[in-house]
Structure 1
Amino acid sequence: MNSEESITIKYYAKFEKTVAYIQKPNEELNQVMDRIGIDMDNHENDYLDGTFIEFSEPEVKD
């Protein structure tokens, strides 16, 4: 007889999203990307509505 058990897995999901930004005078693209990264850290849920691309392979979470 089989018994149901639980396991916790971890996986990554890849999304892409077009975002508007304002480039300040003399600002390099990598500085813009740093600002977007900070905004993503502060407002993660605002970035979860992009277009889904793929899941990573699942791993067992320790």
Structure 2
Amino acid sequence: ALYVPPIADIFRFAPLGPADVALAAVAGAAGVVWYEGYKLVRRALPLRDNAQTALPAPRDP
């Protein structure tokens, strides 16, 4: 939508400069790196005893 001229005119968008594109790329990469690190730490830590990893067993009626 940013680079489609009729849509850009409707919303008064301007083309992004190199600094803006770089900032968006760094922010996106930082989010991905943070979340991947979080998943690694979560995977490395042992589960607590009260953590449920599956659905509970069905109860007898």
Using structure 2 for the length normalisation, give the TM-score: 0.31
Computing the radius of gyration over CA atoms, which structure comes out larger, 1 or 2? 2
Of Structure 1 and Structure 2, which has the larger fraction of its residues in helix? 2
Considering fraction of residues, name the structure with more strand: 1
Q: Report the TM-score, using the length of structure 1 for normalisation.
A: 0.30
**Which structure has more RCO (C-alpha within 8 Å, separation ≥ 6)?**
1
